[in-house]
Copies of this chain bind each other. A is one copy, B any other.
């Protein structure tokens, strides 16, 4: 297995496309050696711009992603695409015109597309999306486009993965903007109102701009979703301090609202320009460094927690011991807390990795 990974890394570094495909599969499925693979590739990451493209199902995200990839290709850039959308036409079901465009893109050797269905309601995609982006980055892609459907967990995933987040809406979103998921609003660095040839496009743009104006007192580019450690019910004073410092030092970025018509590529050059402008802003304000640092920190936290889970719950003696405690807990003689504490007290060597 170790030899396979070594050989794979060699072929990957030589720029073999088949090695990229295999590396993506190993990482996506967390097959044996995936962590060593990522670890070896890590030093080659950090060059790609990662652009998240999110929004409700049917907003035309895949079409925009395809067109954006085409424009970047025309500029001589290499493009990786990760589509995390069960309804994405990348996974089938595209209209004929879309499909022709997508097939053209998919056959371009300067483009690599990986489409994932979401994995049940538990998601668990944060890690995978981020890691697949790392692999594409390490392979030398200049842009990594991450298409996700904007529901539930995924807007947080994308904020943890992307340098820049584009939120795609359609005129039909008009009535729902007032009740739009706060998560989507918070992560948006740019808005695209797609299908703007339909009635209601101007109103959506107007409503968005009103809403952004109302929020003008905030440092919009610097939001909680881009920062720090997700500890759910655990307070994190360091994070709060970092956020405050970031907010104080950040210049303002007001997300532009771009009207587009994906089928005719209207608005696409404006989107490319706005993304460049936003990236320059991220660099100049120091926010890029802060976002990437927060992402690195979160990444390490996630790896630590994943390691802990694997070491504890894939360990047969620990599971056997735990199974032996269940009757006592069921019958009220011991509490789950007492058993948990006892389990941790006896698991030092396991948790630190010393027992392996």
Contacts and interface: CB of A to CB of B under 8 A. Distances in A.
Contacts of A286: none
**Residue in A232, A234, A349 whose Cβ sees the most chain B Cβ within 10 Å:** A232
Contact of A326 (B35, B296, B305): B296
A312 B307 CA distance: 13
Interface residues on A, range: 35 or more
A183 interface: yes
Interface in A283-334: 289, 292-293, 296-297, 299-301, 303-305, 307-310, 312-314, 319, 322-323, 325-326, 329-334
A234 to B, nearest CB: 6
Given A42-B332, A344-B304, A351-B347, A313 B233 contact: no
A300 B348 contact: no
A338 to B, nearest CB: 6
A354 B343 contact: no
Of the listed residues A307, A309, A333, the one surrounded by the most CB atoms of chain B closer than 10 A to its CB is A309
Contacts of A347: 351-352
A305 to B, nearest CB: 7
Contacts of A297: 322-323, 326
Given A38-B337, A236-B313, A352 B353 contact: no
Nearest to A41: B335
Contact of A229 (B229, B305, B307, B313): B313
A345 B354 contact: yes
A344 B330 CA distance: 32
Interface of A is mostly: helix
A344 B121 CA distance: 30
Nearest to A352: B348
A176 interface: no
Of A303, A329, A338, A340, chain B has the most CB atoms within 10 Å of the CB of A340
Interface of A: 30, 35-36, 38-40, 42-46, 120-122, 124, 127, 151-153, 155-156, 181-183, 229-236, 238, 289, 292-293, 296-297, 299-301, 303-305, 307-310, 312-314, 319, 322-323, 325-326, 329-341, 343-349, 351-354
Given A38-B335, A121-B153, A297-B323, 5 more contacts: A121-B155, A234-B309, A238-B319, A304-B344, A345-B354
26 contacts: A30-B233, A38-B336, A39-B335, A42-B329, A42-B332, A43-B332, A45-B332, A46-B332, A120-B183, A121-B153, A121-B183, A152-B152, A234-B309, A296-B336, A297-B322, A299-B336, A300-B340, A305-B305, A307-B341, A307-B344, A344-B351, A344-B352, A344-B353, A345-B352, A348-B351, A348-B352
